Amino acid sequence: MNFILSRLLVVLLFCSLFVSAKGQGCCSGGAPLSGNLNLVPIESGVLSARLIYDLNNLGSVIAGNERLNDRTRTRLTQTGLLKLDYEFRKRWAVSALFSYVRQVEEVNFGTIANQSYGQGFGDMVLIGSYHFLNKSTQRFSLGMGVKLPTGSISRTNQKTSLLLPPDLQPGTGGWDFVAIAQYTERHLFLIRNLGLMTNITYRYTTDAARFEQQQLYKFGNILQAAAGFNYRLHFKKISFTPQASLRYRYALADQTDGFPTINTGGHWMYLIGGTELAFNRNLSLMINTEIPVLWRLEGVQLTTSYKLSLGVVYNFYKEKPSTK
């Protein structure tokens, strides 16, 4: 039964990857929160801390599904993320995600270049999850939570003192609600150390007031689905786990005062490759690269050329009581 269930979940996930819908542009506001909400499998009673540096280079201008030869606009987003995960009673877990983001955008008009940047602490996410299937080789979990509007939406241009656009602000200003479904399996197809990870995340957004309550801006609801494989290798005391996955993203169009915002919307498919080095049960390092391989966007949009993520993970285990 578990074999059938796991394969059915994989089929359903890949079917969801090709759902057709309008979406939000890649230049979304604040830190890259939705892509970092995986429910980390850890042991009961263990606190896991992940410190991540995320670099997003937005240098591709896309019209529909065609890349334009346009170098007039670029953006670099750098984000520091701290994710804490704690599992208790073997089935329940809580997660918290904190962020600090710096976004720099440069627009070139011939020999004139204008630069804008917004930086500061971003929005915070709190998640509670429950493991419906919790075995040593299989886990199926559902999580729900909220994104708090802790990031600023009032940053201004350093030269003009005008309010920066919403997608350059550290936060979105809205209270968002998050739902996650995740299935992981070890020893897939009875192949030792071959792993599977599937994840679907939905984020329901709310609007925020700008220009002294004169305007309401709402980022589109976001749906992301990912599926990938990993294989664990051992070299003496170090484990080396290369991994590869596909991630699909779409969202509803942004809205300004209840009306769709132009040049937002579309579909993205990303190819992700990376590895994790575990030195012991406490400490591990991660590196991931991500490139878009397919687009179908509404209007003309600046979008990701590549992403790079570096991370360090430390697990805090409770000391076992002395037997003396």
Please check the confidence at residue 135 and state whether its pLDDT lies above 50: yes
d(CA 50, CA 197): 18
- b vs e for 100-131, b when ≥16 Cβ sit within 10 Å of the residue's Cβ? bbbbebeeeeeeeeeebbbbbbbbbbebebeb
Least confidently predicted of 93-97, 109-113, 166-170, 171-175: 109-113
Helix (H, G, I), strand (E, B) or coil at 106: strand
Superfamily for the 2-316 domain: Autotransporter beta-domain (2.40.128.130)
pLDDT at 319: 66
Q: Is 190 left (phi over 0), alpha (psi -120 to 50) or beta?
A: left
Q: Does residue 265 surpass a pLDDT of 90?
A: no
SS3 4: helix
Q: How confident is the model at residue 10 (pLDDT cuts 50, 70, 90)?
A: very low
Indicate the pLDDT class of residue 28, thresholds 50, 70 and 90: low
Cβ neighbours of 78 (radius 10 Å):
16
Give Cα separations from 212 to 30, 150, 219 (angstroms): 20, 18, 19
Residue 196 has pLDDT above 90, yes or no: yes
- Sequence ranges of the domains in the chain: 2-316
- Has residue 72 got a pLDDT over 50? yes
The SS3 of residue 8 is helix
* Residue, of 12 and 62, whose pLDDT is higher: 62
pLDDT in tens, 176-186: 999 999 999 99
Segment 278-298 mean pLDDT: 94
> How does pLDDT run across 213-242, given as a tens digit for each residue?
889 999 999 999 999 999 999 888 899 999
**CA 62 from chain center: how many Å?**
21
Contact 117, 158 (CB under 8 A): yes
Which pLDDT score, from 0 to 100, does residue 116 have?
Answer: 87
The model's pLDDT over 108-120, given as tens digits with 9 standing for 90+, comes to 877 677 888 889 9
Count of all residues that appear for the chain in the document: 324
Mean pLDDT of the chain: 86
What's residue 219's pLDDT? 94
